[in-house]
C-alpha cells in the first residue's frame, strides 16, 4: 500500500441550512486516505458521504477544518485557483453520469483535456485511449442518449481518467445501473486502482460494489463509525485478467 | 480563457425551434429598426441635399394661393436672381387616381440649364450627354405639348421617347372632359438622391394657353417661382429683396431656400420622424425582453451543465463567458441578418416606395447602429445569466435538474 497520504482531512465540519434548521453533516471529521488506496464510503442517507467527496474534490468548502490532497491544502486555495487544481488532480464520476447531452462520447471525454496544455492531436489521441481503456472506442461518435446507462457511465469514467489525475472520486457510480452494468463499472474502477495506481474514493449504498474496495468506511451522522479492511477485494483477479469489459 | 466553445453552437442547434424563433424576431426587429430610421434619414437627406442657392418664391398666404404672372419679370430684375422659372404643380394622374404624378409646368427655356446639377438628359442610346441636353431643349421648344420625364417613371409605366401620354389633372381639368396629351421628348437621370426620378416637366405656356382659351379650369397665376441665385450673391439678401419688392402687395411673397422649402414640407408631416423613431425604439426595447427570456430559459436549462463544467475544472469566467458568447452569437445572427436584409432590400424598397420616398436609402451609419444595437441586445440578454452561472457554486449547480 502507499506510504503517503493522498487525502488528509482534519477536524472537518460542514453544516447546511435546511428548512430553517442548521444541520451538521460532518462533525470534526478526521480522515486519511493513503495514495493508491481504494476506499468505499458507506452509510445511511444524510451521513455525509457525498459531502466528503464534494469537499475533497474542491466543489464545496468546509465550515471548519482543513483538507489536504496530495499534500496541498485545498481549504487555503482561492475559488479562482480551485478549478485549475481540480482539472489536474481530480476525476469525478457521478451517479447520473453527468455527460453533456449535446456532445458525443469523444467530445465529452475531450472536455477536461481542453484545459490541459496539449496539442489538438495529443488531446484527441489521449481521449481515444481513455475510451479504449473503458472499451468504448467504437462508440466514440455516439451521443449519450444513443448509449446504455452502463456505457454512459464508462464514458464518464473515461472522462474522469483522461487527464491522468491522482484521485478519482465516484459518487454512487452504480446507483443508476443494473447489476450486470454495475459489475462492469466496478471492475473498471478496480482496474484503475490495480493497474493505474489511481486513488479511488467511491460512495455507495451497494455492499456488492463496496466489496471491490480495499477499505470500507462506514459513516453515521457525520462521523466515522466503523472501518473495515477488505482482505480480498472482489474482482481483483478478474480485473487483472482484463475482465473489466 | 479556456472554454468549451463548441457548446455554443451545439446548444443553439439542440434547441433549434427556440433559436429559430428568437433569430426570426431579431431579424424582423432589426430590419424594422433600420427601415424606420432610414425613412427618417431619407427625409433629412431631402432637406440636407437641397440647394441653398436656389430659392422658392410662394405666396405669403399659402402655398395653394397663386401669385401673379407679372411678378416673374420683377423677380428677374432683383440683383443676384440669375434665372427664374415658373414651377406649377399640375396635380395629374395616369389612367386612375392611384397613379398620381409629380408633374410641373415650367419655363422650358431655362429649366434644363437651371437643373443642370440635378439631372442629366439621356440620349437615344440611354447615355447622358450635352448633345442630349441640347436636343431635349430644342425638342421642348419645338413642341408645345412636349415633356421630359424621369427614367423611374418611364420604367414604371413603360413610357419612352416619342410616346404621347394621356394625363388627367385634378387642378386643371379639361372643360370637355378629355385628357391632356403630352409628348415625351426626353428622359432624365437624377444626379442627386433627393431628386425624384418620377417627375414630369412640361411647358407652362401650354397650360397657360389652354387656360386662357377656356379649354381647362384653373386660375391665372403660378404657385411657385424657382430662382437660381448667381454665384457670389448672398441668398438671404436676394430673399429679402424679393419679399421686399412685394411687401405692399398686391400679393405678398414668402421666399425661402430650396432646403427650407423641403424642410417646410417635412415639418408638414408633423412629428412623423419622432413617431417613427419611437416605434423603432419601442420594438427594439420589446425584443430585448424576448432575447433575455430566451437566454434565461437557456441558462436555467443549462444549470446542471454549468455544474459539470465547473466540476471538470472550467473557471467561473469560462462558464459565464460561454453563456455571454451564446447570447452574442444568437443576437448577432438575428440582428446581423436583419441589418443585411435592410441593406440589401433598400433598392427594391426604394423602387416600391418611389412615389413617397424616391430617395429611400439605408445609410451606412444606420446599419452600423443596427449592429451596435444588436451587440447591445446580446450583452444585455447574456450578462445576467452569465453572471448567475459564474456565481453558482458547483455543488448547487450539480444538484439542479439536468
Question: pLDDT digits over A115-140, tens only?
Answer: 999 999 999 999 999 999 888 999 99
Asked whether the beta carbons of B384 and B288 are under 8 A apart, the reply is: no
DSSP state letter for B178: -
**A92 contacts B314? CB cut-off 8 A:** no
Q: Is residue B355 part of a domain?
A: yes
Q: Is residue A63 part of a domain?
A: no
Find residues 361-400 of chain B whose CB sits inside 8 Å of chain A: 393-395, 398
pLDDT at B166: 93
| Domain co-membership, B365 together with B316 | yes
C-alpha cell read off for A56:
475533497
Q: Is residue B239 part of a domain?
A: yes
Q: Is residue B356 part of a domain?
A: yes
- Nearest Cα residue to B331 out of B362, B292, B280: B292
- Nearest Cα residue to B375 out of B328, B339, B342, B337: B328
Q: Is residue B388 part of a domain?
A: yes
Other CB atoms within a 10 A radius of the CB of residue A76 amount to 10
| Domain co-membership, B160 together with B277 | no
- Nearest Cα residue to B312 out of A76, A140, A107: A107
Exposure letters B342-365 (e unless 16+ CB within 10 A, then b): bbeebeebbeeebeebbbbbbbee
The CATH number covering residue A152 comes to 3.40.50.300
pLDDT at A239: 39
Find residues 245-304 of chain B whose CB sits inside 8 Å of chain A: 304
Q: Is residue A74 part of a domain?
A: no
**Burial of A179 (C-beta count, 10 Å sphere; 0-12/13-18/19+):** exposed
Which residues in B lie closer than 8 A to residue A79 (C-beta atoms)? 316
Quick check: ipTM above 0.90? Answer: no
**B395 contacts A102? CB cut-off 8 A:** no
Domain encompassing residue B228: 61-251
Q: Tell me the DSSP string of A53-77.
A: HHHHTTSS--SEEEEEETTEEGGGS
Asked whether the beta carbons of B81 and B229 are under 8 A apart, the reply is: yes
pLDDT at A240: 38
Distances (CA, A) of B182 to A109, B52, B105, B115, B132: 80, 32, 12, 21, 19
Per-residue pLDDT of chain B (402 residues; tens, 9 = 90+): 788 888 999 988 988 998 999 999 999 989 998 998 888 888 777 777 666 788 999 988 877 788 988 899 899 989 988 899 999 998 888 888 888 888 899 998 898 888 888 899 988 888 888 899 999 999 999 999 999 999 988 988 999 999 999 999 988 988 898 889 999 999 999 988 778 888 999 999 999 999 989 888 888 889 899 999 888 888 889 999 999 988 887 889 999 988 888 777 666 666 677 777 788 888 888 888 888 888 888 888 889 999 999 999 999 999 999 999 999 999 999 999 999 999 999 989 988 886 677 778 899 999 999 999 999 999 998 999 999 999 998 888 888 765
Q: What is the pTM of this model?
A: 0.71
| Domain co-membership, B14 together with B147 | no
Total structural domains within chain B: 2
Quote the minimal CA–CA distance from B45 to chain A in Å: 51
Is the CB of residue B7 less than 8 Å away from at least one CB of chain A?
Answer: yes
**A112 contacts B313? CB cut-off 8 A:** yes
| Domain co-membership, B163 together with B302 | no
Q: Is residue A128 part of a domain?
A: yes
| Domain co-membership, B290 together with B171 | no
Other CB atoms within a 10 A radius of the CB of residue B5 amount to 15
Is the CB of residue B78 less than 8 Å away from at least one CB of chain A?
Answer: no
Q: Is residue B289 part of a domain?
A: yes
Helix, strand, coil percent content, chain A, rounded in steps of 5: 35, 30, 35
| Domain co-membership, B220 together with B279 | no
Q: Is residue B379 part of a domain?
A: yes
Domain encompassing residue A200: 37-55+79-239
Quote the minimal CA–CA distance from A103 to chain B in Å: 8
- Provide mean pLDDT across the span A54-81: 92
Cα(B313)–Cα(A115) distance, rounded to whole angstroms?
8
Q: Is residue A10 part of a domain?
A: no
Total structural domains within chain A: 1
pLDDT at A18: 81
| Domain co-membership, B340 together with B216 | no
Q: Is residue B264 part of a domain?
A: no
pLDDT at A82: 92
Residue B164 forms beta bridges with which residues? B183
Among B192, B221, B251, identify where a domain stops. B251
* Mean pLDDT value across chain A: 88
Amino acid at each position: 500500500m502507499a506510504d503517503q497520504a493522498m487525502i488528509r482531512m482534519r477536524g472537518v465540519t460542514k453544516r447546511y441550512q435546511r428548512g430553517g434548521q442548521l444541520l451538521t453533516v460532518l462533525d470534526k471529521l478526521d480522515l486519511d486516505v493513503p495514495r493508491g488506496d481504494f476506499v468505499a464510503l458507506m452509510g445511511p442517507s444524510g451521513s455525509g458521504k457525498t459531502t466528503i467527496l464534494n469537499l475533497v474534490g474542491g466543489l464545496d468548502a468546509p465550515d471548519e477544518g482543513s483538507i489536504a490532497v496530495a499534500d496541498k491544502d485545498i481549504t487555503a486555495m482561492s475559488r479562482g485557483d480551485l478549478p485549475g487544481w481540480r482539472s489536474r488532480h481530480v476525476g469525478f464520476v457521478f451517479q447520473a453520469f453527468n455527460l453533456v447531452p449535446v456532445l458525443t462520447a469523444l467530445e465529452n471525454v475531450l472536455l477536461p483535456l481542453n484545459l490541459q496544455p496539449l496539442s489538438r492531436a495529443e488531446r484527441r489521441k489521449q481521449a481515444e485511449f481513455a475510451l479504449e481503456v473503458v472499451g468504448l472506442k467504437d462508440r466514440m461518435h455516439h451521443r449519450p442518449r444513443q448509449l446504455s446507462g452502463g456505457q454512459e457511465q464508462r464514458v464518464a469514467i473515461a472522462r474522469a481518467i483522461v487527464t491522468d489525475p491522482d484521485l478519482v472520486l465516484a459518487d454512487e457510480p452504480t446507483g443508476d445501473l443494473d447489476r450486470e452494468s454495475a459489475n462492469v463499472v466496478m471492475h473498471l474502477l478496480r482496474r484503475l486502482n490495480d493497474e493505474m495506481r489511481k486513488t479511488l474514493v467511491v460512495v455507495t449504498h451497494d455492499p456488492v460494489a463496496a466489496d471491490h474496495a480495499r477499505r470500507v468506511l462506514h459513516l453515521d451522522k457525520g462521523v466515522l463509525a466503523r472501518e473495515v479492511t477488505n482482505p480480498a477485494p472482489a474482482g481483483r483477479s478478474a480485473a487483472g485478467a482484463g475482465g473489466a469489459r | 480563457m479556456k472554454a468549451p466553445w463548441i457548446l455554443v453552437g451545439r446548444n443553439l442547434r439542440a434547441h433549434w425551434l427556440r433559436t429559430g424563433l428568437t433569430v426570426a424576431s431579431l431579424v424582423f426587429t432589426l430590419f424594422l429598426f433600420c427601415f424606420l430610421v432610414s425613412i427618417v434619414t431619407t427625409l433629412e437627406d431631402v432637406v440636407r441635399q437641397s440647394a441653398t442657392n436656389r430659392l422658392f418664391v410662394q405666396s405669403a398666404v399659402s402655398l395653394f394661393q397663386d401669385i401673379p404672372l407679372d411678378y416673374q419679370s420683377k423677380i428677374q430684375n432683383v440683383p443676384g436672381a440669375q434665372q427664374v422659372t415658373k414651377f406649377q404643380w399640375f396635380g395629374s394622374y395616369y389612367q386612375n387616381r392611384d397613379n398620381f404624378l409629380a408633374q410641373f409646368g415650367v419655363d422650358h427655356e431655362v429649366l434644363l440649364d437651371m437643373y443642370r446639377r440635378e439631372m442629366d438628359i439621356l440620349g437615344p442610346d440611354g447615355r447622358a450627354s450635352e448633345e442630349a441636353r441640347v436636343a431635349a431643349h430644342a425638342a421642348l421648344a419645338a413642341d408645345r405639348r412636349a415633356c421630359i420625364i424621369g427614367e423611374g417613371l418611364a420604367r414604371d409605366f413603360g413610357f419612352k421617347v416619342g410616346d404621347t401620354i394621356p394625363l388627367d389633372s385634378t387642378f386643371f381639368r379639361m372643360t370637355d372632359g378629355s385628357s391632356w396629351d403630352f409628348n415625351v421628348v426626353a428622359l432624365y437621370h437624377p444626379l442627386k438622391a433627393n431628386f425624384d426620378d418620377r417627375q414630369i416637366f412640361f411647358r407652362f405656356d401650354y397650360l397657360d394657353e389652354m387656360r386662357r382659351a377656356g379649354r381647362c379650369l384653373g386660375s391665372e397665376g403660378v404657385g411657385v417661382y424657382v430662382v437660381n441665385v448667381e454665384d457670389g450673391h448672398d441668398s438671404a439678401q436676394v430673399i429679402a429683396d424679393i419679399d421686399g419688392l412685394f411687401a405692399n402687395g398686391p400679393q405678398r411673397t414668402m421666399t425661402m431656400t430650396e432646403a427650407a422649402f423641403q424642410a417646410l414640407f417635412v415639418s408638414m408631416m408633423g412629428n412623423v420622424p419622432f413617431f417613427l423613431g419611437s416605434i423603432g425604439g419601442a420594438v427594439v426595447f420589446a425584443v430585448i425582453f424576448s432575447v433575455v427570456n430566451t437566454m434565461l430559459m437557456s441558462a436555467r436549462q443549462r444549470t446542471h451543465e454549468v455544474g459539470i463544467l465547473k466540476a471538470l475544472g472550467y473557471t467561473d469566467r469560462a462558464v459565464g463567458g460561454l453563456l455571454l458568447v451564446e447570447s452574442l452569437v444568437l443576437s448577432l445572427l438575428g440582428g446581423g441578418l436583419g441589418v443585411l436584409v435592410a441593406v440589401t432590400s433598400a433598392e427594391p424598397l426604394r423602387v416600391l416606395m418611389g412615389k413617397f420616398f424616391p430617395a429611400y436609402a439605408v445609410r451606412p451609419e444606420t446599419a452600423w447602429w443596427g449592429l451596435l444595437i444588436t451587440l447591445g441586445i446580446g450583452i444585455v440578454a447574456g450578462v445576467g445569466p452569465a453572471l448567475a452561472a459564474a456565481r453558482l457554486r458547483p455543488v448547487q449547480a450539480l444538484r439542479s435538474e439536468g
